[in-house]
Homo-oligomer: A and B are copies of this chain.
Amino acid sequence: MEIQENHTIWMQKAIACAQEGSTPFGALILNQQSEFVSAFNSTKKDGPTAHAEMNVLQKLKQLDYQSKNELVLYTTVEPCPMCMGGILWAGIGKIVYGASIEEVSKIIKQIKIDSHTLANKSWYQPEIIGDVLKAECLALFEGWN
């Protein structure tokens, strides 16, 4: 088993990152050597675009890789169009998320376009895997605002 295929373990780390930031949103980018960078949502401090995925994309330079296509991004919530756009522009090869935009949009305001729709309209199609530890990721929203 390749370590990077062990989605549950890495999603647990994304969840821990979300909890560290006291938000439901945590993300990490993993390379082929099981090294990673991580970030949580920091919109209260850094402004409206500081979603976990945008924040972790800013840390790409800290990670070793030959092609961004070999990197995997884990995120507790399916990337919104802003973040999915950023992920596509970055050229990330695989995205693994917990709770879907459809589910989360019942709890918070959202731009209701899912990650598959964005990928299908771009110049390449990364692999997208959803519902990894979905219940645990949705639980992050309890008591949060």
Contact = CB atoms under 8 A, between A and B. Distances in A.
A80 interface: yes
Given A49-B58, A111-B122, A121-B113, A84 B86 contact: no
A117 to B, nearest CB: 7
A85 B88 contact: no
Contacts of A57: 47-49
Interface residues of A, number: 31
A141 B121 CA distance: 22
Contacts of A144: none
A82 interface: yes
Contacts of A106: none
Nearest to A82: B85
Give the most central of A89, A109, A123: most B CB within 10 Å.
Answer: A89
A113 B118 contact: yes
Given A81-B84, A81-B118, A111-B118, A89 B48 contact: yes
Interface of A: 43, 47-49, 51, 54, 57-58, 60-61, 80-86, 88-91, 109-113, 117-118, 121-123
